Amino acid sequence: MTSWSTLLSKLTSSKPSLIYQLNLWQQEDSPPLALIQDHQFIGANSAALSYFQTQSDGFIQASPYDFSPRIQSSGRSSVEYTRQMIEQASKGDITEFNWHYISRQGTDLPTKVTLFPFKLDELNVLIAQFESKNRRSQTRTKASNGLDTLPKELMSLILEDNAEAVYITDSHHSILAVNKAMCRICGYSSEQLIGSKTDLINIDDHPLNVTAEYNKAIEDRGNWQGEVWKLRSDGSQFPAWKSCRKLTVEEQVYFVTIFSDISAKKQLESKLTEQAMFDSLTGLPNRFHLKKLLNQAIKQTEMRPNTLGAVMFLDLNGFKNINDCFGHATGDKVLQLVSARLEASCIENAEIARLGGDEFTLVVQNCTSRQEIEALSKQIMSLFDTPFEIDDQKLYLGTSIGISLFPEHSNHADKLLSLADTAMYSAKKSPSHLLFYDKKMHQEAEQKLHTLSELRHAHNLDQFKLAYQVIVNLECNSLIGVEALLRWQKPDGKVINACDFVPLLEETGLLITIGQWALQLACEQMLEWRNYSPDLKVCVNVSPMQLEHHDFVQQVTQSLQSSKLPAEALVLEITELALLRQPETVTKTLLALKALGVSIAIDDFGAGLSSLSKLGTLPIDSLKIDAGFAQRLSEPQGKELCQAMIQLAQALDISFVVEGVETLQQKEILEKMGKGFGQGFFFGHPEDATKFTLDNFSTDKTA
């Protein structure tokens, strides 16, 4: 492997400031530094390896996000944000950002990261400089203790009453003097010890390398310290920390040995090690312990060429809703019940671990085929068929499982965990919620990263547009409202519907900004259209993320004031999910919006899982019945379900809008069910503002 100094010497740059920085690193004691190429570490100095508490073979070829939690404290994905920063720096910019790393030993590392762009053999590389943000890691200068100025008689008394055991031997290892602590710790009197050989208290079965190290250190440096085992008078053994110094006085050789009983310390270390290896909530192995178990499983599988091993990455579907609705205390109880159910029903030769949050991992060995592993995975999924009962409340959860195989996919623990994690994210979107890793998933992840990059620039490039669809009175077909629909028009002319990119906007946090822009534009457009139809209203979709934002009411107020649109002309459409995530916060926000005069509608009603008992307590003005009900109006059961939705709206004394009306037959059936409104392709497709104006308000339009 190429040395660090050699790698530094090969780096080049056209920028004088970077060349100057490179020279500083080569001349001075440099901070922790690592070299990144193609999203992987290809080199690191000793300070970086020490910082991450790892060895070179565990660091080289690893990705920067392998030393990170999956989600940063900001809520961003570690993988995505790391790649974003690397791409930014690769364009030639020195890039700084704060990051949360986790060392190989599980230590939290709040870090300031600086990326410097260089060239290595004409290829783009980055130097990553790591600066600890832990303010507690500070050293203090020790003052002189002054012992060297004290009289020898006083020093003799100090040694005699020292809490640590002290004994002095000659060159033949005969004990010449001992202190009180020596007698107390070893259980001998001073008469028994003085004149005896050190074999009385020493154990000779130390590893040969320790004995050789001791002898060499005494010979070369005249002193040695380390951990040893000692004997008591009753034959019991105990661990001790020993310090030995060789002295020559008046041509006589003496050995001064000091040691302390560290039994209590070792017990504490064992306890702390256990705490560091196991999850405190569930008692399962944690990420650090899991990697050890996985490495052992990989080695054992290598010894059995005809067997397969698997890493199963489990994520709980619906857990976030439980946390939001019932609180973290209930969420913790659910996690404990899940771990207990996994342990009680776990398959043979499997290790279970909790990586954090609602993520669990299983390591399975000695399998003969993919089919066997898939059957085991389905067995795990069946554990979630039965609800979890907490405080007389039945809570339903599902799970998505991503699987990586060893040795088929990799023989490296970190890589296997990463691939299983990737497969799990794909599994969450699949009907079966169970997928093995394949290369297409990596390509999809790359495509997602590319799409996210495009989305970040789309707003500045004016690629987001609003399309408008009519809402009509079912009785007379008169226009009563307009729904503003977000669209993404890409440079190639392709138009992307909101459902295909809004989740990505939520993931990146861009939805707050884009949502505010859409609200402002819709209000301004509606003010213009109310010149043609004074009672017209505009409906704007609001995501749960927007609704939970602390400034959302102020954003709505600002849009109404700047556009001069009356509040009664604005209808905000929320989803049923928004009512479930943070019910208290959402209710407070809805009441504040109602106080402004804004109307509230529940969008896609009937497609979610909202509690009907809560509907009457919320400030709701309208139900927008999901398009799926209109599509089933030709079926007797579908007609009855739609009628039930309409009757519910009538019972609550609120209006209703049936979405997805596409045929005259559907419109006529709905018209007979009660006075209400309709929306769908039968009445009109979404159009841009100019075409919508021409089609609906043009003075040249014939009846």
Contacts of 491 (CB under 8 A, 6+ apart): 461, 463
**Alpha-carbon distance 576 to 606, whole Å?**
9
Least trusted range by pLDDT, from 74-88, 97-111, 197-211, 568-582: 197-211
Q: Is 601 helix (H, G, I), strand (E, B) or coil?
A: strand
- We find that the CATH architecture of domain 277-437 is 2-Layer Sandwich (3.30)
Reported as a single tens digit per residue, the pLDDT across 654-666 is 999 999 999 999 9
Report the pLDDT value the prediction gives residue 703, as an integer from 0 to 100: 39
The arithmetic mean of pLDDT across residues 192-211, rounded, is 82
Say if residue 316's pLDDT is above 70. yes
Q: Look-up: residue for tokens 């930014």?
A: 88
CB 547 within 8 A of CB 577: no
CB 80 within 8 A of CB 110: no
CB 385 within 8 A of CB 332: no
Report the pLDDT value the prediction gives residue 69, as an integer from 0 to 100: 81
Say if residue 138's pLDDT is above 90. no
Reported as a single tens digit per residue, the pLDDT across 346-369 is 666 688 999 888 899 999 988 989
Helix, strand and coil percent figures for the chain, each rounded to 5: 45, 25, 30
Say if residue 550's pLDDT is above 90. no
Nearest to 101 by CA among 69, 74, 131: 69
Rg (CA), the chain: 35
Q: Rounded mean pLDDT of the chain?
A: 86
Convert 615-643 into a string of H (helix), E (strand) and C (coil): HCCCCCCEEEECHHHHHCCCCHHHHHHHH
Say if residue 269's pLDDT is above 90. no
Report the pLDDT value the prediction gives residue 205, as an integer from 0 to 100: 67
Convert 333-374 into a string of H (helix), E (strand) and C (coil): HHHHHHHHHHHHHCCCCEEEEEEECCEEEEEEEEECCHHHHH
Nearest to 36 by CA among 108, 109, 127: 127
Report the pLDDT value the prediction gives residue 347, as an integer from 0 to 100: 66
Report the pLDDT value the prediction gives residue 480, as an integer from 0 to 100: 94
User: Could you tell me which residues are beta bridge partners of residue 108?
Assistant: 102
The DSSP output letter for 387 is P
Least trusted range by pLDDT, from 234-248, 339-353, 461-475: 339-353
* DSSP state letters, 119-172: EETTEEEEEEEEEE--TT----PPPP--GGGS-HHHHHHHHHT-SSEEEEEETT
Q: Is 76 helix (H, G, I), strand (E, B) or coil?
A: coil
Confidence band of 139 (pLDDT split at 50, 70, 90): very low
The residues of the chain that CATH labels 3.20.20.450 are 459-697
Least trusted range by pLDDT, from 201-215, 257-271, 513-527, 548-562: 201-215
Confidence band of 614 (pLDDT split at 50, 70, 90): low
CB 369 within 8 A of CB 302: no
Percent of the chain with pLDDT over 90: 39
**Alpha-carbon distance 663 to 681, whole Å?**
8
**CB hemisphere CA count around 569 (13 angstroms):** 23
Say if residue 440's pLDDT is above 70. yes
The residues of the chain that CATH labels 3.30.450.20 are 4-132, 151-265
Nearest to 181 by CA among 201, 196, 195, 199: 201
Say if residue 104's pLDDT is above 50. yes
Report the pLDDT value the prediction gives residue 159, as an integer from 0 to 100: 74
Say if residue 608's pLDDT is above 70. no
Q: What tokens appear for 570 in the block?
A: 């604005």
- Provide the angle, in degrees to the nearest 10, between the axes of the packed helices 439-458 and 78-90: 70
Nearest to 660 by CA among 625, 690, 687: 625
φ, ψ of residue 267 in degrees (nearest 5): -65, -40
Strands 537-541 and 570-575: parallel
- We find that the CATH architecture of domain 4-132 is 2-Layer Sandwich (3.30)
Q: At residue 283, what is the residue type?
A: G
CB 413 within 8 A of CB 294: yes
Question: For 151-265, CATH number?
Answer: 3.30.450.20
Q: At residue 72, what is the residue type?
A: Q
Can you list the positions of beta strands (E) in 279-349? 308-317
CB 25 within 8 A of CB 8: yes
Cis peptide before 407, with omega less than 30 degrees from 0?
yes
- CATH top-level class of 459-697: alpha beta
**Alpha-carbon distance 106 to 288, whole Å?**
6
**How far lies 111's CA from each of 103, 259, 389, in Å?**
11, 39, 42
Distance between terminal CA atoms of the chain?
81
**Alpha-carbon distance 368 to 351, whole Å?**
18
CB 179 within 8 A of CB 167: yes
